[in-house]
Copies of this chain bind each other. A is one copy, B any other.
Amino acid sequence: MKSVLGVDVGGTKVAVGPVDRTGRQLARPLIESSQAVGTAAFIGGLEATLRKAMADFSKFEPEAVGLACAGTVDGAEGLVYSSPNLPLKEVPLAGILQRALGIPVVLENDANAAVLGEAVAGAAAGLRHVVMLTLGTGVGGGLFLNGRLYRGASGGAGELGHVIVQADGLPCRCGNNGCLEMYASGMALGRFAEVRAGDERTDPTGALSRLRKQGRLTGREVSRLAREGDTGALGVVQELAGWLGIGLVNITHVFDPEMIVVGGGVGELGELLIGPARAFVQEHAMPPARDRVRVAPAKLGNKAGLVGGGLAAWEAFG
């Protein structure tokens, strides 16, 4: 095969581009808005976008398609069980598109695609044991073990945001208490800030309090303040880093990975967040895993879905 099409399937837009076996993007991607009104219309629109991409990128001779989308996905079956932002419920998406387009199609969830991207062409390029933690509104995970993606028995592995780290802790949307997601996500960043805002010990500049009055005390705004050096916001990030550290210690003890890659919107805090979390791991994890593991920020950013989707196609058909 010369190339595959990597596809980042989002609720409002779809990005498609040719990817080689090393995860390199061979051309600027085609980006189309996606109409998420009803399953049939959505799939029809996706099919049309893919046909257009096959024509646009024909000189790269793409011979397979790899889709990355958010949600619960069984890659082996090509099935989307459910998705937070797509009108797909128990839809055999890979099979439908494969029959329509006449070339092999594979499906991966966005967390799996992201770790595949980072392990082949990103922060962990060349490593064989890589765990990725994606810190967005929630917390997602992906596992690259013994040099390949690990999906579990039914595509449900790597739900690292729903590891219980405080059994009597805050209720999570999954129905359990104390999931990592409640303490190490963008949501958590906003909530920690809420508690600290307006107290002169934890919000000495009053910046958190001002954001709250404006109704803008979100993870994103707190991150921005922290990057600007606000003491109160930096305290919030420090609190999050302690919980992230617990998550990283757990990952280190379970997987003994060469690297844990931290991505997602909250991960863009970079060393402000990852520095103290990394120090926590060095203080709290056990040898030999502690002495091996590195903790690094993701490199692919918003290219992760497209590149990782493409690499999933290479892994399946290359």
A residues neighboring B (CB under 8 Å)? 72, 74, 81, 128-129, 141, 145-146, 148, 150-160, 162-169, 174-176, 178, 243, 246, 249-250, 253-258, 284, 286-289, 291-293
Contact = CB atoms under 8 A, between A and B. Distances in A.
24 contacts: A72-B287, A72-B288, A74-B288, A129-B153, A145-B146, A146-B146, A146-B148, A152-B256, A152-B257, A153-B257, A154-B291, A154-B292, A156-B256, A156-B286, A157-B255, A157-B256, A158-B256, A159-B254, A160-B253, A164-B246, A164-B250, A165-B165, A166-B168, A167-B243
A146 B74 CA distance: 15
Contacts of A163: 163, 250, 253-254
Given A174-B286, A176-B249, 14 more contacts: A72-B287, A72-B288, A74-B288, A129-B153, A141-B254, A145-B150, A146-B148, A156-B286, A156-B287, A157-B289, A159-B254, A159-B286, A166-B178, A167-B246
B146 A292 contact: no
A157 B288 contact: no
A288 B79 CA distance: 12
Nearest to A159: B253
A203 B128 CA distance: 52
A254 B153 CA distance: 11
Contacts of A258: 153
Contacts of A152: 129, 255-257, 289
Contacts of A141: 254
A145 B150 CA distance: 8
A35 to B, nearest CB: 28
B164 A249 contact: yes
Contacts of A154: 256, 288-289, 291-292
A167 B164 contact: no
